[in-house]
Structure 1
Amino acid sequence: MSPHPASVPPSLPLIDLANFTDSSPEQRMKTAKQLVVACQDVGFVYIVNHGVPKEALTRAFQVSEDFYNLPQEDKLKAPHPPGWAVHRGYSWPGLEKVSEAISGPNDEDTVSKLRAVQDFKESYEVGSENNTDQPNVWPPNDVYPEWRPTMQRFYWTCFEAAKTILRALALGIGLQEEELLRLHSGDYNQLRLLNYPPIAAKALEHGGGFERMPAHTDWSTITMLFQDDCGGLQVEDPKKPGNFTDVEPIDGALVMNIGDLMMRWSNDTLRSTKHRVTLPPLQDRISGDTGITRQRKSIVYFLTTDPDTVVETMSSCVDEKHPAKYEPITQREYNALKASMQY
């Protein structure tokens, strides 16, 4: 990843987690509160010194790139299962449609309208081997043997980093430091390897009927994003709906955002913000019959609770002026509510 230009200020708040992990109690609390304020105001934040080793991240990106360079028939040997209930394995371009809409699976008119413009991306979902609700789908060893051990290791590497973020959020919002972590075993998270293939410039010029990923919010507790130097991520300005700001890659930093589940949990104290991945700007496209856009790669880690955890408003987020807005719900119920629209 290329460093962020020194002359350009970050588009999001930036938190150094070293000030939480290796500091005095006073500095730890100050950092935790800075993180919470960022998540209240914007819902997105850059985090440096996050705990994911550079070598592990480089390896994950390289293995992901090697997989996506395989012939399509080999990638399809680890297909995403039919329907929305199990979210694992390889999803080819056009299979998934991300949307901010919530709808039942029988709402054919809404689904048809959303799918008129397809998401031009491919992805691979990996979970814990202990999650029997959503068993992993792996490529055969004769197709790509490095995939399974690399992604299994990286899944748990990301969870170790997520633990620190959860501790900081809990402390900053007025809970005991381990209170959120106790509700996240790590077995129900999701590692997502994304590839946005090049698109023919001619197709874009003539309206190809696709986009990289439209505006949406995440369902999770929190999301951790690692992106390459291509860029394309944009976050909506909470004070100016419809206006989006570029989130440029910063070398060594991940981008963390609050998910819908955490927003509900915090009684809307923490903000789940719309974001999208755009097509390359015109000046970055190569025109002509054979021109193509740049490829984009990213790795996303969605952290969520165990499925039977009851999500009810945090005690520190309720008072006489701010009564609980939501009824208790299990993560399993909440996930089904969200997932039925996407596949």
Structure 2
Amino acid sequence: MATRLKIGLIINPIAGLGGRVALQGSDGEDIQQQALLLGAKPEAENRAHQTLKRLVHFRDSIDFLSIKGAMGSELLSLLGFSQQVCFTPKDPQHTSEEDTLAAASIFKQQKVDLILFAGGDGTARNILQAVGEEQLCLGIPAGCKIYSGVFTVTPENAGELIEQLLKGSLVEMQPSQVLDINEQSYREGGLSTRVFGEMLVPKNGGYVQAVKIAGVESEELVQQDIAAWVIENLDPDTLYLIGSGSSCKVIKDELGIDGSLLGVDVVQDGQCLLKDATEQQLLDMMMQWSDKSIKLIITIIGGQGILLGRGNHQVCHQVIAQLGKENLIVIASKGKIKALQGKPLGVDTGDQDLNEKLSGFIAVITGYDDTIIYPLGV
């Protein structure tokens, strides 16, 4: 089964409406009506079209979730993309920010890999409000105000970035600020911006200078950087199953526990509760902690890039099914990921249905505060 990218598409039909008629924004129904009376034409769908036409050759690799009508489904139908319409605006002729908020919330519940939206800073603000700071999003620049760092420079760039994802290129995930300005103040000659939060966005991947020796990525230094970031973000109330492999062993060493290199150890609040656990011991421990948060820290095994299955047999399909994809913390150096040459991380749990449920895209911690998104598949 080929790895497919699950994208939620949101087009704000009135984004950018006031720009060409010198209204410096499109917020508010009065401004929108004034813009239309002055002859303004909606531009967001055209901008989204420029992005999506770069992806036409990848139709078989993308599953779109959409909003009925001008907010997404019409354009996807025009370009021949398969889609699942998940939301219908109350008034398709006069869409509102409430429609954006509702659709974005549904997309997050449906666990999309990416929310792709065409709009401006106001649209970005609405989506951030709906999905929070952990959902991966990407903005197609279509509004009058583009001050936030969550938009690509051009609509075509958004298509190029998604194309990189589909090809298995190194695409980082980084938080970027969502800003908005006071339009009334702006029309009066002032400029007052406000930071509303940070949105997780994909950006071109690359090596981090701090972990290079003579221009080459040092595996040992990268492992230490990864371990430092993982440990810094451990929750003392969460139970962690830490898998096998040298990258996971560095985490165990940095925690100061007597962890195994080839086995799975169970850790909570810096203490090793179980070393080199068996499959049954892991299932028993998860039963005891059924009302608590449980996460699996795991890395790829061998040159074939197997993530789940071979080399981690203690982490059986029952363990993985109970955890769910959202509770997997994947770690690997960019060197190891690049060596896969775009091939997805391997899934071989022994349960075909589970393999297919896990397939898609997953975050991979590749350094200190450095994360990419990468294909995961059979």
Bigger relative CO (Cα 8 Å, ≥ 6 apart): 1
Whose helix fraction is larger, Structure 1's or Structure 2's?
2
- Greater per-residue strand proportion: 2
